[in-house]
Amino acid sequence: MPEGDTVFRTAEKLREALVGQLLTYCDVRVPRFATADLSGHVVDEVRTRGKHLFIRVGPASIHSHLKMDGSWRVTSLTARVDHRVRIILQTNAIRALGIDLGVLEILDREHDFDVVNHLGPDLLGDDWDPKVASHNLTAQPDRPIAEALLDQRVMAGVGNVYCNELCFISGHLPTAPVSAIADPHRLVSRAREMLWANRFRRNRCTTGDTRAGRQVWVYGRAGQGCRRCGTPVRRDGSGDRVAYWCPACQR
């Protein structure tokens, strides 16, 4: 699933291509909003809130969430459009295609952020507040750390990659209770640092080593040696999300 940094980069790409441009064509391929036509309006801004993306144009706001497989692509006017495309926004120069979007809706621009009011502080947003995030994280001390980190009401932007990496650097198993975290403020601050460092990177890095094959601590490395102690990394895919951990370094 795309995480907060992916959505941030997507917004930057759409911002460069669309903001200040007149829409010459708009095709929303979602039955509920199929009659919406925003052509003839100028795109004013592209904003994000956690993993949610908003394109504000005219009186409306196009709200999307990538979920597992979604993406936005900026293409030429002659690029092929297939059955996966949920929305086409076109200017005189480009097409922006929303593909396999998990959520796509047209909202009243004045109240578009109402749909994300439940989210915690945005790790890449102006509202980031580590005190609020750490308070949210520890609100349910018996909750598994991974479950809490993935809850967007705690802080917005962490997905499964960052969740596993944060559990590793904290020294705890994903299933360990939140109460085991000695310094919650430090952990949420590390989450912010990780996403901030990767907000413009195509190849995500959480280890500080950007060389190929060395960018992550445990995620996707089942059976490979832990970068700290050499113990084979374990994997559990029995739950809703796949978990990776080092049985020696994480308690």
Q: Would you place residue 240 in the very low, low, confident or very high pLDDT band (cuts 50, 70, 90)?
A: confident
Which one of 2, 121, 144, 184 is the catalytic residue?
2
Distance between CA 219 and CA 242 in Å, rounded?
9
Q: Is 144 noted as a catalytic residue in this protein?
A: no
What is the pLDDT at residue 183? 98
Q: Do residues 17 and 74 touch, judged by C-beta distance below 8 A?
A: yes
Q: Is 3 noted as a catalytic residue in this protein?
A: yes
Q: Would you place residue 202 in the very low, low, confident or very high pLDDT band (cuts 50, 70, 90)?
A: confident
Which one of 51, 86, 192, 221 is the catalytic residue?
51
Average pLDDT over residues 154-172: 98
pLDDT tens for each residue of 31-69: 999 999 999 999 999 999 999 999 999 999 999 999 989
Q: Is 131 noted as a catalytic residue in this protein?
A: no
Q: Is 199 noted as a catalytic residue in this protein?
A: no
pTM of the model as a whole: 0.94
Which one of 9, 73, 227, 241 is the catalytic residue?
241
Which one of 3, 105, 147, 165 is the catalytic residue?
3
pLDDT tens for each residue of 170-182: 999 999 999 999 9
3-state helix, strand, coil in the chain (%, to 5): 25, 25, 50
Q: Which domains does the chain have, with CATH numbers?
A: 4-116 (3.20.190.10), 130-245 (1.10.8.50)
